[in-house]
Amino acid sequence: MNPLPHVTVLLATYEMPKHLEMVLTALDRQSFKNFEILLCDDGSGEETARVVRNFAPHFTQDFVHLWQENQGFRKCRLLNEGIRRSRGELIVFLDADCVPHRDFISDHWVTRRNGTYGAGRRVELSEAVSHGLTLADVRSGIFDRPSLRILRDQVFGKTTNFNRTLRWGTFKPLRKILNLEQIDDLKGCNFSAFREDLFAINGFNEAYEGYGREDTDVEIRMRNLGLSIRSLKGLALQFHVWHERRGFTPANETLLEEARHTKRIRADRGIEGGDRSGISVRN
């Protein structure tokens, strides 16, 4: 095991081996090296395990594959176990269908500020661009600079948010002119928080067992704790690789409405009080 890293990356996945390969390739070429990876795998099969076996030895960073049996969408349990096992001061959340820019982790780390959590955005790649994307493209840094392939797709209304492919840096006057300092909320695929703050809110609420809204619940409780949002627009770029979407679980909408109308800070079933049965380390 390496010395304590500055950053822990919690990478969530479920049955997306090809997407995961691209994300791991991008993580392997990050400009910032002082991080560990905890892969939070919600019941993927052998193909994902093969990808991990192939990639893990390439990382000089510590790499842990957390896995639980597929019994429906139970992402919160794994993320809480990841937070519990994390050693980094800052925890960065990433999904395995979102390929990060080379400076993704660096941007989260360099802009960190006590009393805040960082929130980034993503480019939505079209089905056509996503299907044509290769590991060689990722290795060559296709997402580290503006891409004509993506721009052409944007012109025809397929890829969305091309402006989010542009990394504007941290120069405050320019960011204010471009309105990059304003952001409304976080997305679970691209945010960061200090480890101590996540422990203060007791992590994710494990009552959320279907798809969606668990990240908004975390944000509500971080705001109740007194934290403010920090915009990473024009920084921490990432590119969502197309796949079929699923709808939000209705019960989670009910839980979220309850969270909105309370001043609760800590989850009852979270890092503490949650269920860790059946979670194992596969590597």
Q: Place 148 in a pLDDT band, splitting at 50, 70 and 90.
A: confident
Q: What is the pLDDT of residue 201?
A: 98
| Mean pLDDT of the chain, nearest integer | 92
pLDDT of residue 207 exceeding 80, the answer is: yes
pLDDT tens for 55-92 read 988 899 999 999 999 888 889 999 999 999 999 999 99
User: Between 176 and 165, whose confidence is greater?
Assistant: 176
Topology of the domain covering 7-276:
Spore Coat Polysaccharide Biosynthesis Protein SpsA; Chain A (3.90.550)
Residue 170: pLDDT band by 50, 70, 90 thresholds?
A: confident
The mean pLDDT of 154-169, rounded to a whole number, is 71
Give residue 31's pLDDT band: very low, low, confident or very high (50, 70, 90). Answer: very high
Lowest mean pLDDT among 28-32, 50-54, 81-85, 153-157: 153-157
- Asked whether the predicted pLDDT for residue 42 surpasses 60, the reply is yes
Per residue, the 3-state secondary structure of the chain, as one string, reads CCCCCCEEEEEEECCCHHHHHHHHHHHHCCCCCCEEEEEEECCCCHHHHHHHHHHHHHCCCCEEEEECCCCCCCHHHHHHHHHHHCCCCEEEEEECCEEECCCHHHHHHHCCCCCEEEECCCEECCHHHHHHCCHHHHHCCCCCCCCHHHHHHHHCCCCECHHHHCCCCCCHHHHHHCCCCCCCCCCCCEEEEEHHHHHHCCCCCCCCCCCCCHHHHHHHHHHHHCCEEEECCCCCCEEECCCCCCCCCHHHHHHHHHHHCCCCCCCCCECCECCCCCCEECC
For residue 163, is pLDDT > 80? Answer: no
Give the pTM: 0.94
